[in-house]
Structure 1
Amino acid sequence: MEKQYRLAKREDFSKVYRYGKSMANQQFVLYYLPQPKAEQFRFGVSVSKKIGNAVVRNRLRRMMKEIIRLKKENMTPQYDYILLARKPVVEMAYADMEKSIWHVIRKASLYKKNDFTKK
Protein backbone atom coordinates (compact mmCIF):
# COMPACT_ATOMS: atom_id res chain seq x y z
CA MET A 1 0.00 0.00 0.00
CA GLU A 2 1.29 3.45 -0.89
CA LYS A 3 2.70 5.60 1.89
CA GLN A 4 -0.10 8.19 1.72
CA TYR A 5 -2.65 5.48 2.61
CA ARG A 6 -0.71 4.04 5.56
CA LEU A 7 -1.56 4.47 9.20
CA ALA A 8 1.77 3.76 10.87
CA LYS A 9 2.42 5.84 13.99
CA ARG A 10 1.58 4.51 17.42
CA GLU A 11 -0.22 7.70 18.44
CA ASP A 12 -2.44 7.49 15.35
CA PHE A 13 -3.38 3.90 16.23
CA SER A 14 -4.06 4.93 19.84
CA LYS A 15 -6.27 7.82 18.72
CA VAL A 16 -8.38 5.56 16.50
CA TYR A 17 -8.71 2.93 19.25
CA ARG A 18 -9.63 5.51 21.89
CA TYR A 19 -11.94 7.89 20.00
CA GLY A 20 -13.09 5.83 17.04
CA LYS A 21 -16.00 3.49 16.59
CA SER A 22 -15.82 -0.21 15.88
CA MET A 23 -17.70 -2.82 13.90
CA ALA A 24 -17.03 -6.55 13.92
CA ASN A 25 -17.90 -9.87 12.39
CA GLN A 26 -16.55 -13.35 13.21
CA GLN A 27 -13.18 -12.82 11.51
CA PHE A 28 -12.37 -9.09 11.70
CA VAL A 29 -12.82 -5.98 13.83
CA LEU A 30 -12.81 -2.62 12.05
CA TYR A 31 -12.02 0.55 14.01
CA TYR A 32 -12.67 3.83 12.22
CA LEU A 33 -12.36 7.51 13.03
CA PRO A 34 -13.37 10.48 10.81
CA GLN A 35 -10.49 12.76 9.76
CA PRO A 36 -12.10 15.78 8.02
CA LYS A 37 -8.76 17.43 7.25
CA ALA A 38 -7.42 14.41 5.34
CA GLU A 39 -7.95 14.08 1.60
CA GLN A 40 -8.00 10.28 1.47
CA PHE A 41 -8.27 7.45 3.96
CA ARG A 42 -5.41 5.95 5.98
CA PHE A 43 -5.36 2.25 6.75
CA GLY A 44 -3.60 0.18 9.40
CA VAL A 45 -3.55 -3.55 10.11
CA SER A 46 -3.09 -5.36 13.40
CA VAL A 47 -2.63 -9.11 13.93
CA SER A 48 -2.14 -10.37 17.48
CA LYS A 49 0.50 -12.88 18.53
CA LYS A 50 -2.40 -15.11 19.59
CA ILE A 51 -3.11 -15.72 15.90
CA GLY A 52 0.17 -17.51 15.17
CA ASN A 53 3.88 -17.14 14.65
CA ALA A 54 5.54 -14.30 12.70
CA VAL A 55 5.24 -16.09 9.36
CA VAL A 56 1.48 -16.53 9.75
CA ARG A 57 0.93 -12.98 11.04
CA ASN A 58 2.92 -11.35 8.24
CA ARG A 59 1.14 -13.44 5.60
CA LEU A 60 -2.23 -12.32 6.97
CA ARG A 61 -1.10 -8.67 7.08
CA ARG A 62 0.03 -8.79 3.45
CA MET A 63 -3.23 -10.39 2.35
CA MET A 64 -5.38 -7.88 4.26
CA LYS A 65 -3.46 -4.90 2.84
CA GLU A 66 -3.65 -6.30 -0.69
CA ILE A 67 -7.42 -6.76 -0.48
CA ILE A 68 -7.83 -3.10 0.47
CA ARG A 69 -5.24 -1.89 -2.04
CA LEU A 70 -7.00 -3.54 -4.97
CA LYS A 71 -10.33 -1.84 -4.22
CA LYS A 72 -9.21 1.30 -2.41
CA GLU A 73 -11.57 3.42 -4.51
CA ASN A 74 -14.46 1.76 -2.62
CA MET A 75 -13.24 3.03 0.76
CA THR A 76 -14.86 6.17 2.13
CA PRO A 77 -12.21 8.94 2.17
CA GLN A 78 -11.38 11.16 5.15
CA TYR A 79 -11.28 8.27 7.63
CA ASP A 80 -8.58 6.41 9.53
CA TYR A 81 -9.16 2.65 9.61
CA ILE A 82 -7.63 -0.17 11.61
CA LEU A 83 -8.44 -3.75 10.70
CA LEU A 84 -7.82 -6.41 13.36
CA ALA A 85 -7.71 -10.10 12.52
CA ARG A 86 -9.37 -12.67 14.77
CA LYS A 87 -8.42 -16.32 15.19
CA PRO A 88 -10.73 -17.86 12.49
CA VAL A 89 -8.87 -15.92 9.77
CA VAL A 90 -5.95 -18.36 9.85
CA GLU A 91 -7.91 -21.13 8.08
CA MET A 92 -9.59 -18.84 5.54
CA ALA A 93 -8.87 -18.75 1.82
CA TYR A 94 -8.10 -15.42 0.15
CA ALA A 95 -11.55 -15.14 -1.48
CA ASP A 96 -13.34 -15.80 1.82
CA MET A 97 -11.13 -13.28 3.58
CA GLU A 98 -11.96 -10.69 0.92
CA LYS A 99 -15.72 -11.26 1.36
CA SER A 100 -15.41 -10.99 5.13
CA ILE A 101 -13.40 -7.75 5.04
CA TRP A 102 -15.86 -6.06 2.67
CA HIS A 103 -18.74 -7.39 4.79
CA VAL A 104 -17.45 -5.65 7.92
CA ILE A 105 -16.81 -2.43 5.95
CA ARG A 106 -20.36 -2.49 4.53
CA LYS A 107 -21.73 -3.24 7.99
CA ALA A 108 -20.06 -0.03 9.23
CA SER A 109 -21.66 1.86 6.29
CA LEU A 110 -18.24 2.88 4.98
CA TYR A 111 -18.37 1.14 1.59
CA LYS A 112 -18.49 3.70 -1.19
CA LYS A 113 -20.10 2.59 -4.42
CA ASN A 114 -18.74 4.09 -7.61
CA ASP A 115 -21.18 5.50 -10.14
CA PHE A 116 -18.91 4.67 -13.08
CA THR A 117 -19.01 0.90 -12.35
CA LYS A 118 -22.72 0.71 -13.22
CA LYS A 119 -23.53 0.28 -16.89
Structure 2
Amino acid sequence: MKYKDAESLKKNRDFQLVYKTGTSYVNKYLVMYAKENQLGKNRIGISVSKKVGNSVVRHRLCRLVRESYRLHEDVFRRGFDIVVVARVSAKERTFREIESAFLHLGRLHHLVEKEEHESNID
Protein backbone atom coordinates (compact mmCIF):
# COMPACT_ATOMS: atom_id res chain seq x y z
CA MET A 1 0.00 0.00 0.00
CA LYS A 2 2.75 2.45 -1.03
CA TYR A 3 1.98 5.96 -2.19
CA LYS A 4 3.20 6.85 -5.67
CA ASP A 5 4.70 10.27 -4.91
CA ALA A 6 4.40 10.60 -1.16
CA GLU A 7 5.91 9.34 2.02
CA SER A 8 4.96 9.35 5.67
CA LEU A 9 5.79 12.19 8.01
CA LYS A 10 7.32 10.46 11.02
CA LYS A 11 9.52 12.78 13.07
CA ASN A 12 7.95 14.80 15.86
CA ARG A 13 9.88 17.92 14.78
CA ASP A 14 8.35 17.65 11.29
CA PHE A 15 4.86 17.47 12.80
CA GLN A 16 5.63 20.44 15.08
CA LEU A 17 6.91 22.52 12.16
CA VAL A 18 3.71 21.90 10.19
CA TYR A 19 1.56 22.71 13.26
CA LYS A 20 3.43 25.96 13.94
CA THR A 21 4.03 27.32 10.45
CA GLY A 22 1.38 25.64 8.29
CA THR A 23 -2.22 26.65 7.69
CA SER A 24 -5.11 24.66 9.12
CA TYR A 25 -8.73 23.98 8.29
CA VAL A 26 -11.29 22.06 10.30
CA ASN A 27 -14.51 20.20 9.62
CA LYS A 28 -16.71 17.88 11.67
CA TYR A 29 -14.35 14.91 11.63
CA LEU A 30 -10.83 16.06 10.77
CA VAL A 31 -8.30 18.86 11.10
CA MET A 32 -5.80 19.31 8.27
CA TYR A 33 -2.57 21.28 8.48
CA ALA A 34 -0.61 21.95 5.29
CA LYS A 35 2.74 23.57 4.57
CA GLU A 36 4.87 23.72 1.43
CA ASN A 37 8.00 21.56 1.72
CA GLN A 38 10.07 22.28 -1.46
CA LEU A 39 10.56 18.52 -1.96
CA GLY A 40 8.37 18.01 -5.03
CA LYS A 41 6.42 15.30 -3.22
CA ASN A 42 3.87 15.16 -0.45
CA ARG A 43 4.57 13.87 3.02
CA ILE A 44 1.53 12.72 4.99
CA GLY A 45 1.30 12.58 8.77
CA ILE A 46 -1.73 11.26 10.62
CA SER A 47 -2.39 11.89 14.29
CA VAL A 48 -5.13 10.25 16.35
CA SER A 49 -5.20 11.11 20.05
CA LYS A 50 -5.93 8.58 22.80
CA LYS A 51 -9.01 10.71 23.55
CA VAL A 52 -10.52 9.37 20.31
CA GLY A 53 -10.47 5.75 21.45
CA ASN A 54 -8.40 2.65 22.07
CA SER A 55 -5.64 1.49 19.73
CA VAL A 56 -8.04 -0.48 17.53
CA VAL A 57 -10.18 2.63 16.94
CA ARG A 58 -7.12 4.86 16.42
CA HIS A 59 -5.50 2.50 13.92
CA ARG A 60 -8.76 2.12 12.00
CA LEU A 61 -9.04 5.91 11.61
CA CYS A 62 -5.40 6.09 10.60
CA ARG A 63 -6.02 3.49 7.88
CA LEU A 64 -9.15 5.28 6.64
CA VAL A 65 -7.32 8.60 6.28
CA ARG A 66 -4.31 6.94 4.61
CA GLU A 67 -6.57 5.10 2.17
CA SER A 68 -8.48 8.33 1.41
CA TYR A 69 -5.21 9.94 0.39
CA ARG A 70 -3.99 6.89 -1.54
CA LEU A 71 -7.16 6.68 -3.65
CA HIS A 72 -7.06 10.39 -4.51
CA GLU A 73 -3.31 10.99 -4.59
CA ASP A 74 -3.42 11.81 -8.31
CA VAL A 75 -5.58 14.94 -7.73
CA PHE A 76 -3.40 16.38 -4.94
CA ARG A 77 -0.81 19.06 -5.72
CA ARG A 78 2.78 18.01 -4.98
CA GLY A 79 5.26 19.58 -2.59
CA PHE A 80 3.36 19.73 0.69
CA ASP A 81 3.66 18.38 4.20
CA ILE A 82 0.13 17.45 5.26
CA VAL A 83 -0.83 16.53 8.81
CA VAL A 84 -4.32 15.15 9.41
CA VAL A 85 -5.69 15.03 12.96
CA ALA A 86 -8.77 12.88 13.60
CA ARG A 87 -11.32 14.43 15.94
CA VAL A 88 -13.36 12.46 18.49
CA SER A 89 -16.45 12.79 16.25
CA ALA A 90 -14.66 10.72 13.56
CA LYS A 91 -14.71 7.60 15.75
CA GLU A 92 -17.91 5.96 14.48
CA ARG A 93 -17.77 7.27 10.90
CA THR A 94 -17.73 5.19 7.71
CA PHE A 95 -14.92 5.24 5.17
CA ARG A 96 -17.02 7.38 2.81
CA GLU A 97 -17.63 10.00 5.52
CA ILE A 98 -13.92 10.19 6.39
CA GLU A 99 -12.96 10.26 2.71
CA SER A 100 -15.43 13.08 2.02
CA ALA A 101 -14.17 15.08 5.03
CA PHE A 102 -10.56 14.55 3.88
CA LEU A 103 -11.28 15.76 0.33
CA HIS A 104 -13.27 18.72 1.67
CA LEU A 105 -10.23 19.88 3.66
CA GLY A 106 -7.97 19.26 0.67
CA ARG A 107 -10.15 21.61 -1.37
CA LEU A 108 -10.12 24.28 1.37
CA HIS A 109 -6.30 24.17 1.34
CA HIS A 110 -6.36 24.32 -2.50
CA LEU A 111 -4.42 21.05 -2.56
CA VAL A 112 -6.93 19.27 -4.80
CA GLU A 113 -6.26 20.17 -8.45
CA LYS A 114 -9.15 18.48 -10.23
CA GLU A 115 -12.65 18.84 -8.87
CA GLU A 116 -13.89 15.69 -7.16
CA HIS A 117 -17.55 14.76 -7.22
CA GLU A 118 -17.86 14.34 -3.47
CA SER A 119 -20.39 15.95 -1.19
CA ASN A 120 -19.10 18.70 1.10
CA ILE A 121 -19.05 18.31 4.87
CA ASP A 122 -18.89 21.35 7.12
Confirm or deny a common fold (TM above 0.5). yes
**Hey, what does 1:65 align to over in structure 2?**
66
Deviations 1:39-62 (A, max 9, x none): 211111000110000110011101
User: Which residue of structure 1 aligns with residue 14 of structure 2?
Assistant: 12
Deviates more, 1:103-112 or 1:49-58: 103-112
1:9-43 Cα offsets, whole Å, 9 max, x none, are 1111111111111111111100011112x021111
The SS at the match of 1:91 is coil
1:41-80 to structure 2, matched below 5 A, reads 41-80=42-81
| Runs (4+) off by over 4 Å | none
State the AA in 2 paired with 1:107. Answer: L
Between structure 1 and structure 2, the one with the greater Rg is 1
TM-score (norm 1): 0.88
When the two structures are aligned, how many residues end up with a matched partner? Answer: 113
In structure 1, the gaps of 5 or more residues are 115-119
- Identical aligned residues as a percent: 35
Cα shift at 1:105:
1.0
2:32 paired residue number: 30
> Residues 45-87 of structure 1, C-alpha deviation per residue, up to 9 Å, x if partnerless?
0001100001100111011101101111111111100000011
Q: Which has the higher helix share?
A: 1
How large is the RMSD of aligned CA atoms in angstroms? Answer: 1.5
Mapped pair 1:88 → 2:89:
yes
CA distance in 2, matches of 1:54, 1:93: 17
